[in-house]
Chain A
């Protein structure tokens, strides 16, 4: 069975600084997607970034980028120039293929200090 592990229950970053959130996963599949979702206090799940496993290039979305290490089954999220609005729970998620359910990690609570 596939599993997703986030080993950092909480992280803190100073405004304008950079922070990296860790995620590892376990799968025997070759075709899959990885995601980072953000859940602010409003509880809405917001997609931050997506990575297809077959793509070697790391995905980037503005201040958000990933370090995808397929052999190591690692998928970390880097947030640059952190802003107060980045404070939220961040969930790493795995999806086998383009259908089927998402499997989530337990999340990392990110605090941003002014």
Chain B
């Protein structure tokens, strides 16, 4: 059973470009979460989605960031007009509708903004 798949693993963008990060949850999981980890820091919650719905986006910056989880296909975290401060590791996690409470994490996508 494949785990949470994230791609790309590494992404380099110049300031002002767009970054798109993709996440395919584990099979049978309908809940997706995005987290950001800055160097030497813990994971900060960004957004929680279910299929076609944003449930909690309280951790998302108000501008330039958006997320979706369409009916078909992976969840996408989109960062427009990237700045150097966006450089971080972005982790996706998934969970089933009911279960043991844990989140299952992908290996992360490392974004570097030049």
Contact = CB atoms under 8 A, between A and B. Distances in A.
Interface residues of B, number: 25
Given A45-B91, A95-B101, A101 B56 contact: yes
B63 interface: no
Interface stretch (A12-20, A65-73, A74-82, A103-111): A103-111
Given A100-B48, A100-B56, A91 B101 contact: no
B107 interface: yes
B105 interface: yes
Contacts of A104: 35, 42-44
Interface string B56-100: 100100000000000000000000000000000101010100111
Chain A's interface size range is: 20 to 34
Contacts of A105: 42
Of A37, A44, A102, A103, chain B has the most CB atoms within 10 Å of the CB of: A102
Given A44-B107, A102-B33, A50 B45 contact: no
Contacts, number: 57
Interface string B19-35: 00000000000010101
A98 B89 CA distance: 25
A43 B89 contact: yes
A99 B56 CA distance: 11
A98 B101 contact: yes
29 contacts: A33-B101, A35-B101, A37-B105, A43-B107, A43-B108, A44-B105, A45-B43, A45-B93, A45-B105, A47-B102, A47-B104, A52-B101, A95-B101, A95-B103, A97-B101, A99-B31, A99-B95, A100-B48, A101-B33, A101-B45, A101-B48, A102-B33, A102-B93, A104-B35, A104-B42, A105-B42, A106-B42, A107-B41, A107-B42
Interface of A: 33, 35, 37, 42-47, 50, 52, 91, 95, 97-107
